[in-house]
């Protein structure tokens, strides 16, 4: 007699249930191992993607170029601002020296200085000294600038020594000067020529500096665009690679899981069919078994 049959149990059904239970336990253990291995492989492949990505290096190079351009722009803008200041002063100096020279000819065609002309000349001298002292000697490593401002500032001591007096203005190249009025007129005439040259040179240099600044601004905007595009495009590309890695191994795990579930479903159907053939104890059919 089958001892299991005494309790209404069928041996094949019991064995099927045990097989099903053991199979699930074994699967869960195996799946856990495969899952851990898969996670390690995913991380390893993602690390390779990150390590092979040269975006950080390219971004660092762009940022270095941007920083250099930004520094150059600050330098050229400072240089340009100094040129703007000098242009304004030179323009004012041209007006002042013109008015000073006019004082020599306002009444008597530069042959004599009146008391009023001396007063005017003295005031114009002080204004010239103030503006010449305010001129800036500014340089830029990439822009050649003649020493026109320095030439004007070199006349500062001459301007400070100007002391016009009421009286004669000697003729040019006079062998025996009556006073210093003729020298003052000649010095102011020379200053006027220097100012005209300095003004033209400074205006041209100022315009060149403004053009350079605009070009640098355009380059900065281009670098910013390049960095933004590189960051977004390469980041998207790297994310797509990482997503592809995850999808690939996710599909492997899903295929493994579906295969197991199919086997479990087959085993469960077998178990149910075997359980359907068992006869409950005490039933009428049990009398014939």
Q: Give pLDDT tens digits for 207-266.
A: 999 999 999 999 989 988 888 887 776 666 766 666 776 676 677 767 767 676 676 666
Please report which confidence band the pLDDT of residue 46 belongs to, taking 50, 70 and 90 as the band edges.
low
Confirm whether 131 is domain-assigned. Answer: yes
What is the average pLDDT across 50-55?
Answer: 63
Confirm whether 164 is domain-assigned. Answer: yes
- Residue 170's domain comprises 83-235
Confirm whether 48 is domain-assigned. Answer: no
Rounded percentage of the chain residues whose pLDDT exceeds 90: 38
Say what the pTM is: 0.63
What's 153-218 look like in SS3? Answer: HCCHHHHHCCCCCCEECCCCCCCCCCCCHHHHHHHHHHHHHHHHHHHHHHHHHHHHHHHHHHHHHH
Q: How many domains does the chain have?
A: 1
The pLDDT score that the predictor gives to residue 50 is 62
The pLDDT score that the predictor gives to residue 150 is 94
Please report which confidence band the pLDDT of residue 52 belongs to, taking 50, 70 and 90 as the band edges.
low
Confirm whether 11 is domain-assigned. Answer: no
Please report which confidence band the pLDDT of residue 284 belongs to, taking 50, 70 and 90 as the band edges.
very low
């Amino acid at each position: 007699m089958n001892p299991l049959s005494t309790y209404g149990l069928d041996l094949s059904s019991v064995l099927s249930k045990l097989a099903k239970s053991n199979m699930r336990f074994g699967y869960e253990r195996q799946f856990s191992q495969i899952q851990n291995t898969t996670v390690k492989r995913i991380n390893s492949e993602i690390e390779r993607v990150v390590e092979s990505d040269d975006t950080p290096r390219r971004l660092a190079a762009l940022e270095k170029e941007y920083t250099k351009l930004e520094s150059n722009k600050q330098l050229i803008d400072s240089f340009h601002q100094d040129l703007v200041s000098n242009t304004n002063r030179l323009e004012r100096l041209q007006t002042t020296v013109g008015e000073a020279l006019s004082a020599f000819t306002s009444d008597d065609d530069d042959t004599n200085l009146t008391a009023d002309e001396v007063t005017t000349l003295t005031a114009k001298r002080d204004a010239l000294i103030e503006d010449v002292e305010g001129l800036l000697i500014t340089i830029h490593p990439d822009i050649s600038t003649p020493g026109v401002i320095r030439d004007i500032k070199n006349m500062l001591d001459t301007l400070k020594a100007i002391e016009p007096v009421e009286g004669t203005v000697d003729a040019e190249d006079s062998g025996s000067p009556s006073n210093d009025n003729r020298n003052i007129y000649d010095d102011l005439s020379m200053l006027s020529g220097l100012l005209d040259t300095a003004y033209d040179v400074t205006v041209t240099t100022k315009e060149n500096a403004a053009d350079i600044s605009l070009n640098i601004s355009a380059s900065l905007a281009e670098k910013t665009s390049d960095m933004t595009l590189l960051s977004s495009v390469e980041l998207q590309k790297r994310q797509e690679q990482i997503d592809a890695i995850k999808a690939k191994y996710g599909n492997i795990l899903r295929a493994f899981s579906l295969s197991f579930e199919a086997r479990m479903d087959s085993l469960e159907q077998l178990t149910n069919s075997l359980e359907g053939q068992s006869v409950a104890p005490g039933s009428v059919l049990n009398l014939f078994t």
